[in-house]
Structure 1
Amino acid sequence: MEKPTLKQRVGSFGKFIYNSETKNVLGRSGRSWAEIGIFYVIYYACLAGFFAATLAVFNQTLDSDNPKLQGSDSLLKGNPGMGFKPMPDIETTLIHSTKEGKDDYVKSIKKLLDEYEKAFNEGKGKDCKGQTTLSKDGDEACAVDFTELTAECNEANAYGILEGNPCVLLKLNKIYGWSPELYSDSEINALDNVPDSIKNDYVKEKKIWIDCHGENAADNDNLAKAKVTYSPQQGFPLGFYPYKKQKDYLSPLVFVKFTGLAKHLAYMIECKAVAKNIAVDRTEKEGSVHFELLID
């Protein structure tokens, strides 16, 4: 049997596209195309209607002012984590303090601080300095004093890089409706993992204290030869809590400055938040943050 020629194959395909004898297009008559067209119009209209109805019902279960899942039901399980800057490379927690890497270091911190500087210059938020109580419903959001925050660590000194004294910016994750619970005097003194420097002032200065230390004994020994300072204070003021979508709300920040670190020596650092209802879990990265410091 002879194979069809190219002309025959082209002709056969053209006839499939439109058959002048039967008036069929792609093997279907006009009536067949109309029936299948009407079927799919109705089919997809029903799907669209069902989807719209589902969204409408789901929307009725949402509150525009409050998240549906809160506390232990939320993704954060009511236990805030902590973040840090700079993080020029998201694949590593190493903060490599070099003059060559200054631009990336500064850019990482400045990207977060730009919003705070703008809000401060526009006078947004109220002054909560000295407030030792939680905010009440309806209270205006507390303002972050940008001048005070950047007094020691700022863009002019490249956040400590130019001096060889790197600054690390800490921030506690926002959880809607979450409020810190403070330890009593007897409770804080009974804890073995809180330094005496915090225990002595914990009750007098009511806030979420921050403690940065070496992750192991060797790191603590090395860090003891240096100096760790916090600005504007060693913790997060209570006036910023609870977060309830207040207008112009910005989370409080703390700069930790490491002065006198030895060069070419890697430090493994852990910073943790001290509060009764903040569970510290290194594995789950809850209540604390880990990073390495290397000065060249």
Structure 2
Amino acid sequence: MNSQLSDLRDAFYDSKRREVMGRDGHRWGKENLLTIALDKRCGFCLFRLIAKLAIFYSSFSLGLTGFFCAMIAILMFITPQDIPRYSSADSCMETRSSPISPGMGFRPQPNVLENLIYINQTNGSCDSDPYIKHLNQYLQVYYGKPKKSSDAIRQFVIRNPHNCTPEKHYGFSAGRPCVLVKMNKIVDFMPKPGYQEDDQAAYEKLGCQPGPNAIAVHCYGESASDVDSIGNMTYISESNVDNQCGSLETKWFPYKGKVDRQDLYQAPYVWIQFNNLQPKVLVHVICRLYAKNIYFDKKSLGLTRFKLFLTNPSSPQNHAP
């Protein structure tokens, strides 16, 4: 074993001959790559090789960049700026197993990753309440007075929103929160008033009367315990106030996309005021649409979900609808 180690050591460095890996200093220096590169002729050859490689790769990179920019320019030129190329039944949104059916959205939602609305009546300053601030900002940005006049702008306004106003803190300070719900936008989708055949019994039981030119919106507790805790609701729509259903008039549809790359469309919405929520109970709420061509699926189609939590009960006089 010792002899093998000695042979390995001598192969790497022979102290008698003063050789490293079989060569002494003179032979290593003579055949060193640096010595070769410093030779005039070889140095010129190396310089010429580097120059050719630099020219080739620079030309290749410029050509590739130009090709990429040209493809992007062609794509931007042939792509519509304000609407998708394919919409309605021609789009990928409709499949055999999943027909086109818009969902819904709700506000306030300060955090898009959460669907909890927390009603804190003990909050001394309602102006600092994140849900009230979010409603103020949302209405100002999407439903404020248009910055420029245009024939394409139709301003959506609920003339008599009752308690769902900034001055009344959208009912949050009284423990009767107002939640804004609306239908999500789908280009060229026109909702048809009425209901699906599967929803006929439920629709007639509700007694919804949205009108001949409107579709119905209804909210309810997701489970039996939620139904007991949700209390009664008031639906404040553009043209009526009802205790059973809200309404979205079809005159606001279909959505036609942006105008000159600006979204001037104001989607109709319904205020839903929860008049007597059970305090200190987490209530799961489902709001859904009723229309002939809107399919309802409790997992994803034609609805929105959110949760309400009231910290403490409001005063008795605030419970009056």
TM-score bucket (shorter structure):
0.7 to 0.9
Partner residue in 2 for 1:62: 79
1:80 CA drift (Å): 1.1
Alpha-carbon separation, structure 2, partners of 1:190 and 1:176:
25
1:39 equivalent in alignment to 2:56:
yes
212, 223, 240: which one aligns with 1:216: 223
SS in 2 for 1:193: helix
* Identical aligned residues as a percent: 26
Query: Structure 1 170/73 Cα, relative in aligned 2: closer, same or farther at 3 Å?
Result: same
- Contact preservation (8 Å) 1:141, 1:240: no
Gaps of 5+ in 2: 1-12, 21-32, 95-99, 241-245, 312-321
Partner residue in 1 for 2:234: 228
Count of matched residue pairs: 262
Partner residue in 1 for 2:303: 288
SS in 1 for 2:129: helix
Mean CA deviation greater in 48-57 or 258-267? 48-57
Partner residue in 1 for 2:252: 240
133, 154, 166: which one aligns with 1:107: 133
Partner residue in 2 for 1:132: none
Query: Structure 1 257/123 Cα, relative in aligned 2: closer, same or farther at 3 Å?
Result: farther
1:209 CA drift (Å): 1.2
TM-score by length of 2: 0.69
Query: Structure 1 258/190 Cα, relative in aligned 2: closer, same or farther at 3 Å?
Result: closer
Q: In the TM superposition, what whole-angstrom CA distance separates every residue of 1:93-133 from its partner, at most 9, and x where no partner exists?
A: 2211114486111122222111245326x6857xxxxxxxx
Where do 4+ consecutive residues of structure 1 move more than 4 Å?
19-25, 122-125, 187-190
1:67 CA drift (Å): 1.2
1:192 equivalent in alignment to 2:181:
no
Query: Structure 1 239/31 Cα, relative in aligned 2: closer, same or farther at 3 Å?
Result: same
Partner residue in 1 for 2:8: none
Matches within 5 A, 1:248-259: 248-259=264-275
Q: In the TM superposition, what whole-angstrom CA distance separates every residue of 1:145-174 from its partner, at most 9, and x where no partner exists?
A: 2x6265421222222110000111112111
Query: Structure 1 65/114 Cα, relative in aligned 2: closer, same or farther at 3 Å?
Result: closer
Higher-Rg structure is: 2
Alpha-carbon separation, structure 1, partners of 2:184 and 2:45:
62
Partner residue in 1 for 2:10: none
SS in 2 for 1:51: helix
Query: Structure 1 74/190 Cα, relative in aligned 2: closer, same or farther at 3 Å?
Result: closer
Alpha-carbon separation, structure 1, partners of 2:198 and 2:91:
32
AA aligned opposite 2:247: G
- Contact preservation (8 Å) 2:136, 2:166: yes
168, 174, 188: which one aligns with 1:163: 174
1:80 equivalent in alignment to 2:97:
no
Query: Structure 1 276/154 Cα, relative in aligned 2: closer, same or farther at 3 Å?
Result: same
1:51 equivalent in alignment to 2:57:
no
Alpha-carbon separation, structure 1, partners of 2:65 and 2:282:
59
1:207 CA drift (Å): 0.9
Alpha-carbon separation, structure 2, partners of 1:89 and 1:195:
36
